Amino acid sequence: MYGKGRIIPALILFLGLMTAPMWFKSGDVSKLPKPEKPKDYTECVAPTQFMRTAHMQLLNEWRDDILREGGSRTGKTANGTEYVRSLQNGCMKCHSDKKKFCDDCHNYASVKPYCWDCHLQPKEAM
């Protein structure tokens, strides 16, 4: 092999970078988010699995529907639970602890919804 002095360090650097998540601060796998579910309510505005995967799309739909199409500000689930179609007055009424619910997942998945630039979190609202 020629150029050992350069190629071997370069290969080690390459392998190190590629496997970085395996050795660098990869953290504890068992530390999963456990969003605290509301105690006073039994169901969400849509089936739980749907909420887990697509709640951000639902919020976007609500926002566009209410603010642009003049859609209704209230809704009802198939089981008859009535709710307010609103980020602050709907989601956050049932999920009143943002830190223990929304943020728990979001920190894990590294998302920072910018909604709170304008919308108020439950504690601030009080």
Which two tokens mark 38?
């509301």
Nearest Cα to Cα of residue 91 among 126, 120, 66, 49: 120
Query: Which does residue 90 bind out of ligand HEC, another protein, none, counting CB within 5 to 8 angstroms by kind?
Result: ligand HEC
Q: Which stretch, 39-47, 54-62, 73-81, 95-103, contacts another protein (CB under 8 A)? A: 54-62
Q: Does 5 bind another protein (CB under 8 A)?
A: no
Decide whether 21 or 56 has the Cβ nearer to ligand HEC.
56
Q: Does 59 bind ligand HEC (CB under 6 A)?
A: yes
Q: Does 17 bind ligand HEC (CB under 6 A)?
A: no
Decide whether 9 or 33 has the Cβ nearer to ligand HEC.
33
Residues that bind ligand HEC (CB under 6 A): 33, 35, 37-38, 41-45, 48, 51-52, 55-56, 58-59, 62-63, 66-67, 81, 83, 86-91, 93-95, 101-102, 105-106, 109, 111, 113-115, 117-119
